[in-house]
Amino acid sequence: MLSTKAVEQQATAANRASKTPDNVNIKAQRMGFEFDEQVPQYWLEDSPFLSHMMNALSVLFPQGEQFFVDSVRAYRDQINDPKLKAEVRGFIGQEAMHSLEHMAMNQHVRDQGMPVEELEKHLKVVLDAAKMLPKRHQLAITCALEHMTAMMADMLLERDDVRERMHDTMRPLWAWHAIEETEHKAVAYDVFQEVGGTYAERTFYLVFSTAALGVMASYFTGRMVLSDTKGFSIADTGRGLWRMWGKNGTFSSLIPTWFSYFKPGYHPWDHDNSELIARFKAEIQSYIAPQYQNGNRKTLQ
């Protein structure tokens, strides 16, 4: 028979707004990745198309993650659960670090002659329009996009074949990002649930956000491919599209996970993949730049 204290602890855990497992620690860490001449232009499978596609996703991250932070921060004062409050602080810090590291990568892409600044301006127009929506709808968009980033992170950590196709100079950035996306994958969702978010809101905005992300990512990739006249080839583009969307493709394999969001009562930690965090966390620590070994941090404003 459980003691009174144990029963009280179980009841407290059950009533928490946060559903993140207790063995997951959401903590920000600056890495200080550098992207120099050692990074090949075509760093993913030596493929121009695939490399440009991932570069395009990187361009989306800094502004996109600022949007995530703002949408969660808007409700921070309405959260009573101390555990979730702490996780929101961790979420904001981690997204800040992702932004800074991808800014460094994006500068590297810009130095290769890609139209990064122009694409960032286009993205700003889209996000400014999204900011005109009600605050809870913005939070629903964040939940949807966090679902997509979390399922891509899980796939990257689960599948050796996906990571091994990346050049050694790029793999640590994407593995580190995937670890932290997994750690905080439920924070925005738990905040959304705590402030009265509805099933209709979250499912509608998954469809809406998927379409918007698909259009923006495709446009950004297309612009980069067309800007790289020397690297472009129809054969490479065809192989890249098959790699992404063909049988057992990187993206096509995620379709069942995408649909899981429509399940009534769904929660991101229904799929407990916290063991992946433990598996890769120690390895990624070796890539922290010396000046950030003590956890130097900077937050988004």
Mean pLDDT by 10 residues, the chain (301 residues): 44 69 94 92 96 97 97 96 96 96 96 96 98 98 98 96 94 97 98 97 98 97 94 93 92 96 97 94 91 64 41
pTM score, whole prediction: 0.91
Task: Give me the pLDDT at residue 296, please.
Answer: 52
The total of structural domains in the chain comes to 1
Question: Residues 6 or more apart from 102 whose CB is under 8 A from it?
Answer: 58, 61, 62, 177
In-domain check, residue 34: no
In-domain check, residue 18: no
In-domain check, residue 8: no
Nearest CA among 79, 68, 72 for reference residue 16: 79
Helix (H, G, I), strand (E, B) or coil at 166: strand
Question: Residues 6 or more apart from 202 whose CB is under 8 A from it?
Answer: 140, 143, 144, 192, 261
Task: Give me the pLDDT at residue 15, please.
Answer: 61
Please give the single-letter amino acid code of residue 63: Q
Task: Give me the pLDDT at residue 51, please.
Answer: 97
Domain that holds residue 235: 47-287
Task: Give me the pLDDT at residue 7, please.
Answer: 38
In-domain check, residue 42: no
Task: Give me the pLDDT at residue 229, please.
Answer: 87
